[in-house]
Amino acid sequence: MKTAIITGVTGQDGSYLSDLLIDKGYKVIGTYRRTVSDFENKCQNITHLLDDGNFILEEADVTDSSSLYRLISEYQPDEYYNLAAQSHVGTSFKTPVSTTEINMMGCLYALEAIRLQKPSCKFYQASTSEMFGDNTQCPQGLDTHFSPVSPYACAKLAAHHMVSTYRKSYGIYACSGILFNHESPRRGENFVTRKITKAAARIKLGLQDELRLGNLSAQRDWGHAADYVKGMWMMLQHEVADDYVLATGKTNSVQEFLEYVFDYAGLDIKDHVVIDPKFYRPCEVPKLWGDPSKMMKTLGWVPEYDFEELAMEMYEQDLKKQYFKLNKTIDSNV
C-alpha cells in the first residue's frame, strides 16, 4: 500500500484527489490548517472520507516547517501533493505577505523536509496558469514567458522555480503541474464560477434577486477538477519527473459562463445581474488558454468533461443544496 500526503485536503482538488488515490489502494494523509472557522464547514468536501480506514486527517500548517518534518518523519510517504494555498487571486492583493508565506514557503519547507528525511518521496507542486498573467500569447505552454500580475501568481512562480531547482540540484522526483482554471461543485463559493451557479440556484428558488459581478470579458480555459487530479497522479507515475500544463485547450469568457448557466436555469441576466466595480482586480488577466499537448502525448491524459457539462453539474448541485436548505428552514419553522 502506497502512502500519500495531501496538503490542503479540504479544498476541491484535495478532496477529489483523495477519492482517486483511495480508490487506487493508497493510504491518504490529508492535512488542514485550523482557523477560527468551524471545522464542519471547512471539511464539508471530505465528510464522506472521515470514517474511511485509509484516510487520516492531520492538523498541520505549511508555513510551520516543523509540522511538515513531523508528517514526513512519521508517515514516510511515497508521494506528496502540495495543494495547500491561499488560492484566491483577489484576496492575495489584500494579504500579500501571508499569501507568499503559504504559497512559496510552504513548497520550500516541503521540499527540504523530503530532501532531508525521505528523498525517494515523489513531489507534486500545484502551479497555476495565473503565472502567465498579462502575457496574451496563446495558447500558453511551458515555453510561454511568465508575466505574473498578482501577489498570488508571483508566489506561485517562485515555488514553481524552486521545484525545478530541487529536481536539478538534488535529483528529487519533483513535478509542477501548471493547471488552468478547474472548477467543480466543490469549488469555493468566493470563486466566480461557483458564485454564478449558487446565485442562479438561489434566484431560481426565490432566495435572492441580484448577483453582483466584476469583469465579464475575462477569458479562461475551464476544466473539471476531477479530470485534473487524475493528471496530477499521472505525473507522479511517469518514469521521469517533469513539468506539464493541464488544460482543455479551449476558452470561454465569464460572460459566456454566466449566459450558459442563466439560460439553463431559465433566468434573464438583465433582470438579475449588476456589474460592480469593486469586484475588478487591480490588474486584470485578460486571457488564459492552455496548451495540454505534452500532457496528452506523454502521459495520455484526456479531459472527460466539457465546458457545458461542467457548468450544468455545478448549477444542478447548487440547486439541490439550496433546495435542501430551504426545506430544512421551512421544517424548522413549522
pLDDT tens-digit profile, the chain (334 residues): 999 999 999 999 999 999 999 999 999 999 998 764 566 677 899 999 999 999 999 999 999 999 999 999 999 999 999 999 998 898 999 999 999 999 999 999 999 999 999 999 999 999 999 999 999 889 999 999 999 999 999 999 999 999 999 999 999 999 999 999 999 999 999 899 999 999 999 999 999 999 999 999 999 999 999 999 999 999 999 999 999 999 999 999 999 999 999 999 999 999 999 999 888 877 778 899 999 999 999 999 999 999 999 999 999 999 999 998 888 776 666 4
Q: Which of 128, 144, 193, 251 is catalytic?
A: 128
CATH for 192-219+250-285+306-333? 3.90.25.10
Catalytic hit among 152, 173, 260, 315: 152
The answer to whether residue 189 is catalytic is: no
Distance from C-alpha of 32 to C-alpha of 201, rounded to nearest angstrom: 29
- Verify whether residue 173 is a known catalytic residue: no
Burial per residue of 56-70, b for 16 or more beta-carbon CB atoms within 10 angstroms, e otherwise: bbbebbbbebebbbe
| Residues 164, 170: Cα–Cα separation, whole Å | 10
- Catalytic one among 130, 144, 193, 251? 130
The residue among 132, 118, 133 whose CA lies nearest residue 174 is 118
| Residue 152: active-site member | yes
Where in the chain are the domains? 3-183+224-246, 192-219+250-285+306-333
The x, y and z cell numbers of residue 265, run together, are: 436555469
Number of H helices, E strands in the chain: 13, 13
How many CB atoms within 10 Å of residue 127?
Answer: 25
Domain 3-183+224-246 coded CATH 3.40.50.720? yes
Q: What is the pLDDT of residue 334?
A: 47
